[in-house]
Amino acid sequence: MVKNNPKNNKWMRRYRTFFVIGFVILCLQIFLAARFVALNKNTEPDENHWVPLNIESELDQEVEANSARKSKLDNFDDEDSNAISPKSKKQKVVNQTHLLRYDELEFVPPCSITTREAVSAINRAKTQKCKQLISNITCLSYADKLYPIELRGSCPAEGFVPGRELGCFKDDKKFRLLSGYFGVNKNENSPKYCMKLCLQSGFPYAGVQYSNECFCGVDEPPLSSKIPDSSCNLKCPGDQHATCGGYYTINVYQTGIKSKLFLLEREEMCDNFVFLEFVPQIANTEVTGGSNSSVKIVFLLTLNGRAVRQVKRLLKVLYHKNHYYYIHVDVRQDYLYRELLSLEKVLPNVRLTRRRFATIWGGASLLEMLRSCMWELLNIKEWKWDFVLNLSESDFPVKTVAQLTQFLTANRHRNFVKSHGREVQRFIQKQGLDKTFVECETRMWRVGDRQLPHGVQIDGGSDWIALSRKFVDYVREPGTGRLSFGIFKHTLLPAESFFHTALRNSKFCDTYIDNNLHVTNWKRKLGCKCQYKHVVDWCGCSPNDFTPDDWPRILSTISRQLYFARKFEPIINQAVILQLELWLYGLEEPSKRIPNLDSYWQSVYHYRDLGVTPDDGLLTLGNSVKRHVLRKFNQSNLTSCDVQIFHLMQVHTFHNKDAYRYSLFLLNTTDGVIEVAVKPVRNLVLMKPSPLMEHVQVLLLRSEGADLEEFLQVLSPFSEPVLVYRFSALRGSKIYNLTCLWISPSGHLQDVTDFTVDELSLIGHVKSALRQPVLPGVWTTKLIYKNTLLAEVKFLVTPLEFITGRPVQKLVPSLFSGRLLNTSKQGEGLYEKFLPNASQRAILEKINQSDSEREGNLLSSWIDGLFSKFYGIEKVCMAGVRMVTYAELKLVLV
């Protein structure tokens, strides 16, 4: 028998406890790892949750372009980076909860559609035409028939041959030979794959190393680092017949892009030259050459909205007889088009295009509209122009047209675009260029991933551009070896990529100047709340409006090659526009007295509007205004006229000193016109003082997709209510996690939404999940923080007297009963103390049932009663009404 060693037994007893504890920890780690793997395997992201990205170029004129030398090495893997190779990933197959609803289709899709994005888009589209278009595009994408596989650029690249192998080189961990970009792809890496990636990113050199690593760079490796080819001997996962370097050894190739030679500007290095990647030209500041004739500019105004006064103000500042003004008005904006059309009769160098588009944020229609206008400009024989420069109604000059003309004359035949200034692959992901989108129903539907054609460099940035006539003629039509417009037809924000990419890859590449002549008022700290999700399956935000507080930013443009600023909206702030206009002409104050200088009117409705369906809620509100005015007349014994002779003609919002005063309803009668000033009644109640509510600036309800400037706050059963909030700067770094309760007119809790307010998210909105038609009546939203009621906002969902602009002839039960959510008893129980009690709810339900059966005069009286609670008549002004005296008018106003 073997005797036990006493020393061993003593050692075992001493460390027994440690062994037990270690074993327990090991078992716990194995258990948690198994749970984590199972959780990830069974969890799918929500179909409507997109990463909150900024789609428009994030860097404005304040930020320098980020060269490859400045960018950090960015690891990527084919499993988590669809920008490198979308097709290297498996398509996201739809799960059982997101099946295509074939019973709703009146056609048979040309293929089996399985990707989650496409299925979601088809199910959400409203018309059969749009559903079929999405299906057709998706199936073409599946079959690789939607985009060309390869394109050829025509930018001169003498001595740089695509695919030329330079040999095997010794690399160093601390000083990489190719330091522009780095990525890892364990499945597809090969020399061909890496060259495609580096060419797309704009690098002249590509290198493969350690089998699955791809490097891009701008500098040719020195001959001193070259080693025998046998040192690069590892096989490539994407091509077993090729080698992909070795351990700190790299096979280097030319991508075919020329590395340009530029002189450093610093005096102490004036004799030194360096090789860089593509570098834009530097704009001239003085006219050179024999010709001193000034260039002629086409100001291409692409207009939307109803701000006709601001458009005319912009035209007045821009106007010069030697330049041209070509105007595109969105096809849905008949009022603006009609108001501007008369300019053609008095100004020979102003024209409006008759081919109009319905453009949306991020849509392919925006690029199609720009190219259409450019094609028309080239065909106006009597217009001899040199540059086309696009502007919107939100732009305003920060230098005179004479200064702009002089600058562009010094840079004749050059092209001004603003690049994104970041690493290309990151830009592709942020911009959504690796996705396929379909535009229909004035929406961009995301339908899946795509692989960009190889052979060209991808570029993009701002969609505000100034292009020479020769380049415009070059890109006006697709094909003939040029960059095909078809690539961008199903691309998000194509106007921000097409001209940049075409310029970089064409014979005009030496005319590229990285400047869009604009300063843009970005305020990133205020955050981006995806304000365009109602028109696009993506997140994006717009610049902020200039106010007098931003004046230093405008002053900073004096010494820079910037000629315009954006955004300016007089409905938000008109004072800064007046300040800029005076500064532009060197004035301290207007040279003559201008009536209503601090006032502003903007159209909301006109009876002659065409192209869009009238707002039924606004028409219903106008009808109620007419009845209230009639009652005032009758009470004052002015007339016994019937309500039918009152016709709603126009609605405007009126502002004075940048404050909303009221909305003006213009009524026409047989005896003259009557204008009624109507203003919403504030229905915000702060229940308990708190540090957060002291910072409340805006807390109101409006419809999803409507601008914050929807001052009347008209909501109908077909609206999508959202709670809009704006807070002033919070003290410290406090974070508030708030809950919003949505309580129906019947007293039931219909939705609960959570949101966060902190110093980086002071402006935003909270969207409910209420389904249309929403129950008409008085709704209540309650703001909860830590189980304490902070505030409540009551809002009106107006019962409708009009459907698609026509009076309701008979009872429509679905409009007045709504579609209520099936809220759980548990949800109501959790917030029971914030809801009406059972007896109160029973009374409210009975009233709601009675209201849902109203029609005719009973419906009108219900609407008028609700109008009195949420709106007030401030003034009534009359013109041409024969029987009205001044004394009688005062009676009406009382």
The dihedrals phi and psi of 659, each to the nearest 5 degrees, come to -130, 130
The SS3 assignment for 77 reads coil
Using pLDDT thresholds of 50, 70 and 90, give the confidence band for residue 318.
very high
Q: Left (φ > 0), alpha (ψ -120 to 50) or beta: where does 442 sit?
A: left
Nearest Cα to 784, choosing from 818, 810, 749? Answer: 749
Local structure of residue 487 (DSSP, 8 states)? G
Q: In 455-478, which positions are buried (b, 16+ CB within 10 angstroms) versus exposed (e)?
A: bbbbbbbbbbbbbbbebbebbbee
The SS3 assignment for 253 reads strand
Q: Left (φ > 0), alpha (ψ -120 to 50) or beta: where does 765 sit?
A: beta
- Residue 819 has a pLDDT of 63
Using pLDDT thresholds of 50, 70 and 90, give the confidence band for residue 171.
very high
| CA angle 706–712–713, rounded 5-degree value | 50
What value does the mean pLDDT take over residues 512-528? 81
What value does the mean pLDDT take over residues 177-206? 93
What value does the mean pLDDT take over residues 168-174? 93
- Residue 760 has a pLDDT of 72
Do residues 61 and 543 make contact, with C-beta atoms less than 8 angstroms apart?
A: no
- Residue 454 has a pLDDT of 85
Q: How far is CA 419 from CA 88, 461, 464, 655, 880, in A?
A: 28, 4, 11, 38, 58
- Residue 242 has a pLDDT of 94
Least confident of 175-189, 286-300, 559-573: 286-300
Q: What CA–CA distance (Å, rounded) separates 350 from 345? A: 9
Look up residue 159 and give its two tokens: 């001595």
Cα 258–chain centre separation: 35
| CA angle 500–506–507, rounded 5-degree value | 130
The SS3 assignment for 789 reads strand
Higher pLDDT, 328 or 66: 328
User: What is the tens place of the pLDDT at every residue in 116-169?
Assistant: 999 999 999 999 999 999 999 999 999 999 888 888 888 877 778 888 999 999
In 10 A of CB 866, how many CB atoms? 20
Q: What CA–CA distance (Å, rounded) separates 577 from 582? A: 9
Q: What CA–CA distance (Å, rounded) separates 256 from 165? A: 11
Q: How far is CA 347 from CA 326, 382, 608, 617, in A?
A: 12, 14, 25, 39
Least confident of 30-34, 209-213, 727-731, 808-812: 30-34
Is residue 807's pLDDT more than 90? Answer: no
Q: How far is CA 769 from CA 124, 757, 763, in A?
A: 15, 20, 20
User: What is the tens place of the pLDDT at every residue in 332-380?
Assistant: 999 999 999 999 999 999 999 999 999 998 899 999 999 999 999 999 9
What value does the mean pLDDT take over residues 627-655? 72
Is residue 77's pLDDT more than 70? Answer: no
All domains in the chain, ordered by first residue: 99-142 (no CATH), 297-435+451-518 (3.90.550), 601-678+875-893 (no CATH), 683-854 (2.60.40.1930)
- Residue 702 has a pLDDT of 81
For the whole model, what pTM was predicted? Answer: 0.81
Q: What CA–CA distance (Å, rounded) separates 519 from 398? A: 9
Is residue 14's pLDDT more than 70? Answer: no
Higher pLDDT, 168 or 709: 168
Kind and range of the H or E run holding 389: strand 387-391
The dihedrals phi and psi of 775, each to the nearest 5 degrees, come to -60, 125
Q: What is the DSSP string of 96-127?
A: TTS---GGG-SS--SS---BHHHHHHHHH--S
Q: What CA–CA distance (Å, rounded) separates 329 from 358? A: 9
Is residue 49's pLDDT more than 50? Answer: no
Q: What CA–CA distance (Å, rounded) separates 83 from 451? A: 8
Q: What is the DSSP string of 554-608?
A: HHTTTTTT--EEE---TTT-SHHHHHHHHHHTT-SS-SS--TTTTEEEEEEEETT
Do residues 678 and 662 make contact, with C-beta atoms less than 8 angstroms apart?
A: yes
Do residues 209 and 171 make contact, with C-beta atoms less than 8 angstroms apart?
A: yes
Is residue 111's pLDDT more than 70? Answer: yes
Which pairs count as long-range contacts for 755-760, CB under 8 Å and 24+ apart, including other chains?
757/692, 757/725, 757/727, 757/730, 758/730, 758/733, 758/734, 759/525, 759/729, 759/730, 759/733, 759/734, 760/525, 760/526, 760/527
Do residues 763 and 699 make contact, with C-beta atoms less than 8 angstroms apart?
A: no
Using pLDDT thresholds of 50, 70 and 90, give the confidence band for residue 870.
very high
- Residue 707 has a pLDDT of 60
Is residue 742's pLDDT more than 80? Answer: yes
Q: How far is CA 90 from CA 420, 554, 615, in A?
A: 29, 49, 45
Cα Rg, the chain, nearest whole Å: 33
Kind and range of the H or E run holding 275: strand 273-276
Strands 395-397 and 260-263: unpaired
The dihedrals phi and psi of 313, each to the nearest 5 degrees, come to -65, -40
Is residue 59's pLDDT more than 90? Answer: no
Q: What CA–CA distance (Å, rounded) separates 827 from 538? A: 31
- Residue 736 has a pLDDT of 87
In 10 A of CB 270, how many CB atoms? 9
Do residues 156 and 258 make contact, with C-beta atoms less than 8 angstroms apart?
A: yes
- Residue 74 has a pLDDT of 33
Least confident of 266-270, 575-579, 709-713, 869-873: 266-270
Amino acid at 273: F
What value does the mean pLDDT take over residues 303-315? 95
Q: What CA–CA distance (Å, rounded) separates 483 from 460? A: 14
User: What is the tens place of the pLDDT at every residue in 404-446?
Assistant: 999 999 999 999 999 988 788 889 988 999 999 999 999 999 9
User: What is the tens place of the pLDDT at every residue in 331-342?
Assistant: 999 999 999 999
Q: What CA–CA distance (Å, rounded) separates 452 from 550? A: 40
Q: How far is CA 529 from CA 135, 524, 540, 666, 710, in A?
A: 30, 11, 8, 36, 18
Is residue 34's pLDDT more than 50? Answer: yes
Q: What is the mean pLDDT of the chain?
A: 81
Local structure of residue 611 (DSSP, 8 states)? S
Higher pLDDT, 489 or 388: 388
Do residues 475 and 160 make contact, with C-beta atoms less than 8 angstroms apart?
A: no
Least confident of 117-121, 298-302, 817-821, 822-826: 822-826
Q: How far is CA 325 from CA 337, 564, 646, in A?
A: 14, 16, 40
What value does the mean pLDDT take over residues 246-273? 63
Is residue 268's pLDDT more than 50? Answer: no
In 10 A of CB 845, how many CB atoms? 15
- Residue 882 has a pLDDT of 41
